[in-house]
Amino acid sequence: MSTTDRPGEAHENNHGEPRPTDARSAPSDVPCDVDGAGRHAPDEVRGATGAGEGGTGVAREADETRSRESGEAQPPGTDEARHGARDPYDYPRHWEADVLLSDGGTVHLRPIVPSDAEALVSFHGKLSERTRYLRYFGAYPRIPQRDLERFSVVDHHDRVAFVALLGDDIIAVGRYERLGGGPSAEVAFVVDDGHQGRGVGSILLEHLAAAASESGLRRFVAEVLAENAAMVRVFRDAGYQVSRAIEEGVLHLEFDIDPTEESLAVARAREQAAEARSVHNLLHPRSVAVIGASADPTKVGYSVLSNLLAADFAGTVYPVNPEHRSVRGVRAYPSVLDIPDPVDLAVVAVPADQVESVLDGALAKGVKTLLIVTAGFGEAGPHGLHAELRLVGEARAHGMRVVGPNALGVLNTDPAIRLNATLAPRLPQRGRAGFFCQSGALGTAILADAEARGLGLSTFVSAGNRADVSGNDLLQFWETDPNTDLVLLYLESFGNPRKFARLARRLGRSKPIVAVKSGRHAVRPQLAATSAEVDESSVQALFEQAGVVRVETLAQLFDTALVFAHQPLPAGPRIGIVGNSSAIGLLAADTARAQGLRLAFDPVDVGPQAGPDDFAAAVREALNDPETDALVAVFVPPLSIPGSTYARALREAAQELDQRKPIVSTFLAAEGVPDELAVPGPGGGPGPGSIPSFPSPERAVNALAKVVRYAAWRQRPQGTLVRPDGLHVEQAEQVVREILDGGDKNVVLEDSDVVRLLGCYGIEVVPFRVVSSAEGAVEAAGELGYPVTVKAVDERLRGRPDLAGVRLDLASPDAVRRGYEDLSAVSGEQDVYVQRMTPKGISCLIGLQDDPSFGSLLSFGLSGLVSTLLGDRAYRAVPLTDVDAATLVREPKSAPLLTGYRGDEPADLAALQDMVLRVAALAEDHPEVRALTLDPVMASPEGAYVANARIVLGPPPARPDTGPRRLRPITASF
């Protein structure tokens, strides 16, 4: 049982440390140190018991007696004896984090240090009596100095405490204390009354559990007053399996802290809600302050203010200009602090050297989001980058998020908002597409292009240098935004690729994502500090696995977006082609075949003399054909009849049938959605059912093909994360620790260690021996069983057929002797491998490469120089589902060789898939595996057999999308 604190007890606990003295005897000039809570909210933390400041309950004498009798108590000084004296200021730096709360605000989380004592006193002095009661099961109005020292001085191992900071003020404290040197710790929280209900307690619990796991703890215990239902919900709703017992109105709770599927799902859901809320705050402000508003048309502040007013923003606009009483006819204020009402969004349009002073006022005002359109930061060099990171750090520490710097701005076309806080002069047409763009310079062109093509937008964000708010935040928002059905991304880099893959894969199941990924060979300097280097194969794997529709150019992005925005998804890849030109129809058919589409029938040519009714009849017949999944209309209007007549006939025919089959056209040489093909949407622009037109049949078919492939991905089963049977994770951990032994260098494993580690995951290497003589080779062959293969130890020889580093299918002692002698002569070495022959099959390669930013990437292809040179590899990111494994082994262009090409007996693909899943499990469980190659893996009808393997272990890399919730660090790139 836990040992806790009760006012009136002045003795030492089971760690030899002083307990709080009777509150009545505390010095009158020192406020108390207590925990509590206020409003009822599902995720608020009211407090649980713990040693010292960290708990909310009281210890009864019976608890202390049971603790001693159970052997949990340790002699004084046990912790110091085990670990030596620990510097209370020296905490693990990766425990520090900026975190988002449920209302979209931010706080800074870090371990407590002795210098926090004064802030701790101030924090507890503000707590309500109710909170104090729930913390200590009674009044505890003051704290003696010795308790204050104990609360603020911890060892960051057995005794850990986190403070949540808003500016310089502590708004919450969470702590745990190990019990009796065992695997359990008592956990406790307290949240300032004014910040309860914001999810602070849930965040503290996640970070405490992660810190405890690093310190070797496995279980948390807590005691809570039975009336403190909110505190109980914190533990229960976190997804842990909580056991509970009640005695005299006190609940005793215990739960294991190892992450479970349920706890991870809960954390992801809370992450999504918090990040979506922060973006909602940005895009739905009730008031906007333009700091640097100007009456000079050449100034950025003039453009932003003018665009806000021109869009008829539904909220209140506050120009901030110390030199004018009004700007553009709107009353101005000398500073943001002079604005009498709350400010949700502040647009900063002052020179870069003035932004820091502006920030101070915004922080003091409590602005929710700062949009910085000013340039001169990360893109201007090291000094600008330093200023940018300092600015974002200050903003986050005070609860504020930042868009930019160097951003074009944000807009929301919702008629209830009408926000145009950008440098673009016009609010786009209302639509269902959300657009995220990193480049401010391209933003204006993108918005103009969208309007010209008839593509309506719901929201648009240009993040500029992306110092804080990123594309991942927008994905979280758009997932639950009822006004957005299509997501468009112009990405120059990734901040957290692993998280992007996770979010995109989830969002893509309900809303298409179309992305341009530029910056293949270079990244803008202003993005370098918050970007991850990801090679092209990783990007392609990321997009394919997540269902992201990748395009090469902005023109292709708009082509594809027009189909997604206005037409339904096709049921399959069969297309019909109808037109009045055989040449154009054949061009469309050739493009369709090249894109992997199938023709439902030969292209229909109604002839150049056909009238609108004939054309419409051919369209109806094609759409009514059950073999048709989509239609391409290619039409050159004759001179005698206006083209608009045919366009209306096409639109009316499609509307009349009301079938869920997409239509694209090459009509009137128009690009976008001409009026004749448009079906008006809610905002007056083209809406669902409008038929996009393209200048050429190739572009029309290419855009349709991307939509077809996305629809096929969405129709495929998602699959489930699979853990094959027979995995021995703890045994593998022991092998890894033994080999690395705390070193910080990469290690290439010896053959015996490779066999041991792979064996822990059920991957067996075909039996072999290393011999150093001809007779030894014969003896080894007899033990292994004929036939055998003899291979050179030098990998370069084994991989070069022209150097003949391998002798196969040796069925007799004489053949083995000759093979040994030949290889010894070729290699100049005495040692060779003798290995049992595998069944005849196709030679494959399974590889694992560790991307420091993206995570582990698993590859599959046929073995050999030709496949390597042609790049015929398929890639998937770890973790893999069963569907991922199944598609991975079928994706290479040479994969038909495994499925019975030209009448051969197919290989056992199930065995290959199982091996892929085992390698993926090994990579996921042990990030120390920096590289792995199984080459060759012989895929035969009898199974899959590993003939050779190589593994490299090393210090595990950072895994940015694992662990407790946190915002991307601003001082390091992922």
Q: Give me the pLDDT at residue 795, please.
A: 77
Tell me the CATH number of domain 23-258, given options 3.40.50.300, 3.40.630.30, 3.40.190.10, 3.60.40.10. 3.40.630.30
Is 602 within 8 Å of 622 (Cβ atoms)?
A: no
- Determine the pLDDT at residue 844: 95
The pLDDT confidence band at residue 14, using thresholds 50, 70 and 90, is very low
Average pLDDT over residues 478-487: 97
Whether the predicted pLDDT of 651 surpasses 80: yes
Q: What is the mean pLDDT of the chain?
A: 85
pLDDT digits (tens, 9 = 90+) for 401-414: 999 999 999 999 99
Q: What are the pLDDT digits (tens) for 79-120?
A: 444 445 689 999 999 999 999 999 999 999 999 999 999 999
Class of domain 567-715 (CATH, top level): alpha beta
pLDDT of residue 542: 76
> Could you give the angle at the alpha carbon of 160 between the alpha carbons of 154 and 165, nearest 5°?
95
Give the model confidence (pLDDT) of 174-202 as tens digits: 999 999 999 999 998 889 999 999 999 99
Whether 136 shows a pLDDT value over 90: the answer reads: no
- What is the architecture, at CATH level 2, of domain 767-837? 2-Layer Sandwich (3.30)
pLDDT for the residue 212: 97
Q: With 0-12 CB in 10 A as exposed, 13-18 as middle and 19+ as buried, what is 572? A: middle
- Are both 276-562 and 567-715 of the same fold? yes
- Residue 124, both tokens: 């507890």
| 453 contacts 428 by C-beta, under 8 angstroms | no
What percent of the chain has a predicted confidence (pLDDT) above 70?
87
| Residue 128 vs residue 958, higher pLDDT | 128
For residues 170 and 164, the answer to whether their CB atoms sit within 8 Å is yes
Give pLDDT, residue 59: 31
Is the bond into 342 cis (omega within 30 degrees of 0)?
Answer: no
The structural domains of the chain, with segments of one domain joined by +, span 23-258, 276-562, 567-715, 718-766+840-974, 767-837
3-state secondary structure of 102: coil
Give ∠ CA 905-907-909 in degrees, rounded to 5.
140
The enclosing H or E element of 844 equals strand 842-851
Residue 335, token pair as written in the block: 């500073």
pLDDT of 316 strictly over 70:
yes
Q: Does domain 276-562 have CATH number 3.40.50.261?
A: yes
Q: Is the dihedral of CA 699, 705, 707, 710 positive or negative?
A: negative
Cα–Cα distance, 935 to 938 (Å, whole number): 9
Residue 142 sits at φ, ψ, to 5 deg, of -140, 160
163, two tokens: 């403070």
140-149, 176-185, 347-356, 774-783: least confidently modelled range: 140-149
pLDDT at 182: 94
The rounded Cα 739 to chain-centroid distance in angstroms is 32
Alpha-carbon gap, residue 719 to 736, rounded angstroms: 30
Confidence (pLDDT) at 852: 61
Region 508-519: what's the mean pLDDT? 88
241-300 confidence digits (pLDDT tens): 888 888 888 899 999 998 888 999 999 999 999 999 999 999 999 999 999 999 999 999
What pLDDT digit, counting tens, does each position of 831-876 carry?
Answer: 999 999 999 999 999 999 876 656 688 999 999 888 888 889 898 8
Pairing of strands 929-940, 943-946: antiparallel
Q: Among 163, 156, 152, which Cα is nearest to 107's?
A: 163
Pairing between β-strand 943-946 and β-strand 401-403 as defined by DSSP bridges: unpaired
User: Confidence band (pLDDT; 50, 70, 90) for 64?
Assistant: very low
pLDDT at 900: 87
What residue ranges in 268-418 does DSSP mark as E strands?
Answer: 287-291, 316-320, 326-327, 330-331, 345-348, 369-372, 401-403, 409-412
Please give the angle made by the CA atoms of 297, 421 and 522, to the nearest 5 degrees.
Answer: 95
CATH code linked to domain 718-766+840-974? 3.30.470.20
Alpha carbon dihedral 334, 337, 339, 340, in 10-degree steps, equals: -140
Helix, strand, coil share of the chain (percent; to 5): 40, 20, 40
User: Residues 492-512: what's their mean pLDDT?
Assistant: 87
**Band of pLDDT at residue 799, cut at 50, 70 and 90:** low
β 345-348/287-291 pair status:
parallel
Question: In angstroms, rounded to a whole number, what is the distance separating the alpha carbons of residues 764 and 938?
Answer: 12
The answer to whether the peptide bond before residue 405 is cis (omega within 30 degrees of 0) is yes
Contact 21, 140 (CB under 8 A): no
What is the average pLDDT across 789-809?
A: 77
pTM of the model: 0.85
Alpha helix segments (H runs only) across 596-727: 612-624, 643-657, 697-715
Average pLDDT rounded to a whole number, residues 792-820 = 82
Look at residue 974 and tell me whether its pLDDT is greater than 60.
no
Task: Tell me what pLDDT residue 530 has.
Answer: 47
Among 149-158, 510-519, 611-620, the range scoring the smallest mean pLDDT is 510-519
* pLDDT value of residue 497: 78
Q: Which residue has the higher pLDDT, 755 or 667?
A: 755
Contact predicate 455/672, CB 8 Å: yes
Contacts of residue 9, defined as CB under 8 A and 6 or more positions apart, other chains included, come to 19, 20, 21, 22, 59
Mean pLDDT of the 564-592 span: 95
pLDDT for 61 equals 28
Quick one: which H or E segment has residue 946? Answer: strand 943-946
For residue 449, pLDDT beyond 70: yes
